[in-house]
Structure 1
Amino acid sequence: MRPVNRSRILPALLGAAGALTALAGWQLAATAGPLAGAPLPSALEALGAAGRLLGTPPLWQATADTLVMALTGLLAAAVVGVLLGIAIGSSPLAMHATRVPLEFLKPIPPIVILPVVVLVLGPTAGMGTFLVFFGSFIAISVQSSAGVFDTDPVARATGASYGMGRAEILARIVIPSALPYIGTALRVAAPTSLVIAVVAGLLGGGPGLGQSLLMAQISGNQADLFGIVLILGALGLLIQGLSQWAERRLLHWHPQYRKAEIA
């Protein structure tokens, strides 16, 4: 029988305790605290609304639309960003030539180009997918190029001394060395893609949970509004957990993850 890993159970228990404490504080503030009588619903009302919404087909359709936009845009950003990053990182000239444009574009939020994208693509799922792509691929390409560029030159030289060609060195030395950088970029981009997909519906009129939030806000249904927020938070936790699990599985050979398994 596999022994229980206490180093994993304790953080989970602390996280659950923190969530329960936050909900209790919310309930107290909305019922007997400074926010009593305000439009803010209590935690129990929001949880009840979330449970009721989970039993309705429109909520599941909106969730599916949001996930399709987020995952499709993230997948496209991962493919384009990793390939571009490998191409840039493999050439010092390209690395230095593209550093300023990429660093200039990296902090620009997708919401800045939202009006233009809505004008061109309309309030569609394609608009949301493109915004997710734009908000993710630059960071992924920067991280990927940094991982390729930082590959140990001694390892490259050793591969060349054993008669490896450039393609073999890239496949067997450079890319494995850059995988931790790429994994980190994808793990950070995964929850970000969900946020951008929601913003596409909330501000751009696209389908999904963002549009559901907008409709609840317009109708003044505060309980449903915060119920959807709770559902989004749970969805974000799920995506973050899956991305961390996938990173650990793909990089199980890396010293950082081997130490975590031993602990």
Structure 2
Amino acid sequence: MTAMTRSRTLPTLTGAAGVLVALAMWQFVATVGPLSRAPLPSALQALEAAGGLLGTPGLWQATGDTLVMAFTGLIAAAFVGVLLGVAIGSSPLAMHATRVPLEFLKPIPPIVILPVVVLVLGPTSGMGTFLVFFGSFIAIAVQSSAGVFDTDPVTRATGASYGMSRAEILGRIVLPSALPYIGTAIRVAAPTSLVIAVVAGLLGGGPGLGQSLLMSQISGNQAQLFGYVLILGVLGLVIQGLSQWGERTLLHWHPQYRKEQH
């Protein structure tokens, strides 16, 4: 086994061992441990419930609804956030004028505006999409503007000295320089969009896995409830992995990722 193969295999094996240890601890706590008398299902019961859910069309319908809300809202947030960030970052005056309002809005969770959005849009997929958009685009705009603003001024001046227009400088110098900021923002927002889409169903009554979680809780089916939690965890890992792969593919030329390849 080469050193490169070993370096890639070891984290995978370590992660798998961590998952098995966590499941074993869960099983112990729920069966003979301090929570054995609590309504917490064991790990085996939750895994069995998750396996049963995989064979039901309702799960796949709910998963599809959740993913549509998450990705539609994320794509819209990326489009608007990058455009707004480029516009702000290109002007030092706009950058300084909007820094405080954007930083003020960034930590506000979408759940704060959930009652108003439900009142306006109703418990629909559009409501969930808007919440995902609201929860993602400000962070993407802030990161995009920072990336544009931090572009090396010497590089910009060099491009201008070679007769490049403002559009060429933006497309060939500024945006490539800001891409690491933008890629990181979207990678972080991707799993967050899944969480927001689930919350939209859990607390706002929208379609998707959040509504399925709520129905399991109301019916008192704890094993099924935790089965949904396990499925959501796996779905989150898949989305996180895809976002990391997309970032590495988009930024394969960046020194950080070139170093990882070697």
TM-score by length of 1: 0.98
Q: Which digits, 9 at most, give the CA deviation of each residue in 1:208-249, with x for residues without a partner?
A: 000000000000000000000000000000000000000000
Consecutive unaligned residues in structure 1, runs of 5 or more: none
Partner residue, 1:73 = 73
Partner residue, 1:230 = 230
Distance across 2 between alignment mates of 1:149 and 1:17: 43
Partner residue, 2:57 = 57
- Deviation (angstroms), 1:3: 8.5
Partner residue, 1:106 = 106
1:214 and 2:214 aligned: yes
Distance across 2 between alignment mates of 1:245 and 1:11: 16
* Letter of the 1:31 counterpart: T
Distance across 2 between alignment mates of 1:40 and 1:167: 59
- Deviation (angstroms), 1:11: 1.0
Partner residue, 2:142 = 142
* Letter of the 1:133 counterpart: F
- Deviation (angstroms), 1:8: 1.8
How do 1:169-208 residues align onto structure 2 when only pairs under 5 Å count?
A: 169-208=169-208
What SS is found at the alignment partner of 2:203? helix
- Deviation (angstroms), 1:6: 2.2
Partner residue, 2:162 = 162
Q: Which digits, 9 at most, give the CA deviation of each residue in 1:170-226, with x for residues without a partner?
A: 000000000000000000000000000000000000000000000000000000000
How do 1:1-20 residues align onto structure 2 when only pairs under 5 Å count?
A: 5-20=5-20
CA RMSD of aligned residues (A): 1.0
- Deviation (angstroms), 1:141: 0.2
- Deviation (angstroms), 1:5: 2.6
Partner residue, 2:126 = 126
Partner residue, 1:43 = 43
Partner residue, 2:92 = 92
Distance across 2 between alignment mates of 1:56 and 1:41: 21
* Letter of the 1:46 counterpart: A
Partner residue, 1:245 = 245
Q: Which digits, 9 at most, give the CA deviation of each residue in 1:55-87, with x for residues without a partner?
A: 000000000000000000000000000010000
Aligned length: 261
Distance across 1 between alignment mates of 2:175 and 2:7: 31
* Letter of the 1:68 counterpart: V
Distance across 2 between alignment mates of 1:222 and 1:54: 17
What SS is found at the alignment partner of 1:240? helix
Distance across 1 between alignment mates of 2:12 and 2:118: 41
- Deviation (angstroms), 1:140: 0.2
Q: Which digits, 9 at most, give the CA deviation of each residue in 1:93-142, with x for residues without a partner?
A: 11011111101100100000000000000000000000000000000000
What SS is found at the alignment partner of 1:164? coil
Q: Which runs of 4+ in 1 moved over 3 A?
A: none
- Deviation (angstroms), 1:4: 5.4
Distance across 1 between alignment mates of 2:63 and 2:127: 17
